[in-house]
């Protein structure tokens, strides 16, 4: 069965066929369709409780949802089988690994990614693997999941290590992307002391490793270092407005002290550092139950439940798609910019407007796939949580000027991909 591919247009109406850049002597460009084949598809085949039907289903019904996106990359997919009647699954390894660039040793880097099984980390790992580098992932799986990078396990360029960055770790490497830390309020508030410990001790250990191996070190900081800002939009020069003893302080102050530590190592020991202040990001592989606004809205709408907005819906957020963020992180790592850099999308929405946009896109995808809705979901308003910032929008002038980076994905295009991802996860029974 053939399907016309869904085209993705950027903010200027140009079709997006690749992600990444060839900048600062580092080529990070990969084809979008190959990257999509790693996440925009059910992990396994829906079975009709009869093993003889598996081949038919694999090429038929189970493919329909995502054939529009994948266009011929099914050979690199797992062929596991799901039995809905017994709620059981028969796992298998990949048929074959996706093709990766064959780099000469002089260009191939040994890259360590802490938190590499998390939402952002797994997309970074996909990109670095496709580019042909040797990637080691460190993760303790507190919020990360093995399934996000399981398609690389066994690849000669890939290593997965279960390890908590609070404990020292020894390895030889050229670059360290330090992403390890729970990043959503339910997770980082679950054990506040552990969150601060991860931010401080984890960063201390990884900076120590960078010092010993002379590796370049990038820390994923956050827009939370600005707290509930009194300046709008926020530039990197703004020092922030943070409650040091509130429920979010374990994360906010943890990231602030991690930045302090990072620049301490730069000044005192000459470590080559990069600091990325990441603003709200969304995309496939976000944990649907981690309390983030985008995943909450999409899952509620797909399930036909009313969408919950906290407060009056007038607080604003800016959302960037995960591919834009990965472009920014890789470009920053390989640039000469050592000051903190905001990486985010400056298109601002009120939460109320965003809820309506999500509802519209979910309905569009359901209509395209011929799904019948019982009713239109409503938007309901509930009380605002403590210390929830009213306004958050990055000033990305520095990223534009020193990295040549700016977001390419529209919120609408990114949301459509994410809706299809969650829809597939529901079809395979994992949400």
DSSP secondary structure of 173-194: -SEEEE--S--SHHHHHHTHHH
The SS3 of residue 370 is coil
Across the range 29-55, mean pLDDT stands at 67
Distance CA 189, CA 224 (A): 14
Instruction: Give 313-344 pLDDT, tens digit per residue.
Output: 888 888 999 999 999 999 999 999 999 999 99
Distances in Å between the Cα of 45 and the Cα atoms of 55, 78, 80 are: 9, 9, 6
3-state secondary structure of 383: coil
**CA end-to-end span of the chain, whole Å?**
27
Longest dimension (CA), the chain: 66
Q: Specify the pTM.
A: 0.88
Helix axes 293-302, 351-368, angle to 10 degrees: 40
pLDDT digits (tens, 9 = 90+) for 361-370: 999 999 888 8
Mean pLDDT of 397-402: 96
* Mean pLDDT value across residues 28-55: 68
Mean pLDDT of 412-422: 92
Catalytic residue numbers read 251
H or E element at residue 348: strand 348-350
Give pLDDT tens digits for 185-241: 777 777 888 889 999 999 999 999 999 999 999 999 988 888 888 888 888 988 888
Report the share of the chain in percent with pLDDT over 90.
49
**How far apart, in whole angstroms, are the C-alpha atoms of residue 24 and residue 329?**
13
DSSP secondary structure letters along 57-112? HHHTHHHHHHHHHHSS-GGGSB-EEEETTTTEEE---BSSPPP-----TTT--EEE
Note the pLDDT of residue 62: 45
Q: Please tell me the predicted confidence (pLDDT) of residue 66.
A: 47
How high is the mean pLDDT of the chain? 86
């Amino acid at each position: 069965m053939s399907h016309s591919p869904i085209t993705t247009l950027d903010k200027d109406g140009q079709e997006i066929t690749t992600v990444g850049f060839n900048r600062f002597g580092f080529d990070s460009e990969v084809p979008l369709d190959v990257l999509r084949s790693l996440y925009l598809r059910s992990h396994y085949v829906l079975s009709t409780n009869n093993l003889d039907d598996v081949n038919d289903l694999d090429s038929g019904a189970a493919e329909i949802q995502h054939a529009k996106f994948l266009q011929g990359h099914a050979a690199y997919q797992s062929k596991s089988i799901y039995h809905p009647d017994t709620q059981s699954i028969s796992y298998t390894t990949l048929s074959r690994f996706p093709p990766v660039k064959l780099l000469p040793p002089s260009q191939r880097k040994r890259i360590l990614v802490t938190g590499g099984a998390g939402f952002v980390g797994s997309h970074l790992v996909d990109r670095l693997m496709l580019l042909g580098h040797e990637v080691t992932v460190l993760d303790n799986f507190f919020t990360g999941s093995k399934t996000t990078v399981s398609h690389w396990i066994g690849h000669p360029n890939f290593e997965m290590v279960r390890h908590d960055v609070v404990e020292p770790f020894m390895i030889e490497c050229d670059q360290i992307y330090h992403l390890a830390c729970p990043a959503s309020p339910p997770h980082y508030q679950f054990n506040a002391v552990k969150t601060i410990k991860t931010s401080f001790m984890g960063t201390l250990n990884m900076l120590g490793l960078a010092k010993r191996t002379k590796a370049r070190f990038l820390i994923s900081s956050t827009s939370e270092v600005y707290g509930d800002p009194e300046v709008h939009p926020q530039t990197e020069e703004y020092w922030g407005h943070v409650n040091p003893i509130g429920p979010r302080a374990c994360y906010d102050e943890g990231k602030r002290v991690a930045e302090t530590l990072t620049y301490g190592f730069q000044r005192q020991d000459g470590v080559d550092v990069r600091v990325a202040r990441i603003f709200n990001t969304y995309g496939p592989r976000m944990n649907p139950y981690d309390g983030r606004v985008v995943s909450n809205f999409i899952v509620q709408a797909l399930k036909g439940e009313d969408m919950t907005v906290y407060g009056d819906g007038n607080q604003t957020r800016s959302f960037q798609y995960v591919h834009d963020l990965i472009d920014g992180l890789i470009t920053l790592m390989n640039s000469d910019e050592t000051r903190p850099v905001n990486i985010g999308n400056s298109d601002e929405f009120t939460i109320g407007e965003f809820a309506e946009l999500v509802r519209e896109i979910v309905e569009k995808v359901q209509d395209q796939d011929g799904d019948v809705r019982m009713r239109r979901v409503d938007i309901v308003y509930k009380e605002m949580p403590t210390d929830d910032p009213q306004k958050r929008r990055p000033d990305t002038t520095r990223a534009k000027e020193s990295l040549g980076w700016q977001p390419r994905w529209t919120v609408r295009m990114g949301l459509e991909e994410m809706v299809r991802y969650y829809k597939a996860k529901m079809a395979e029974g994992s949400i």
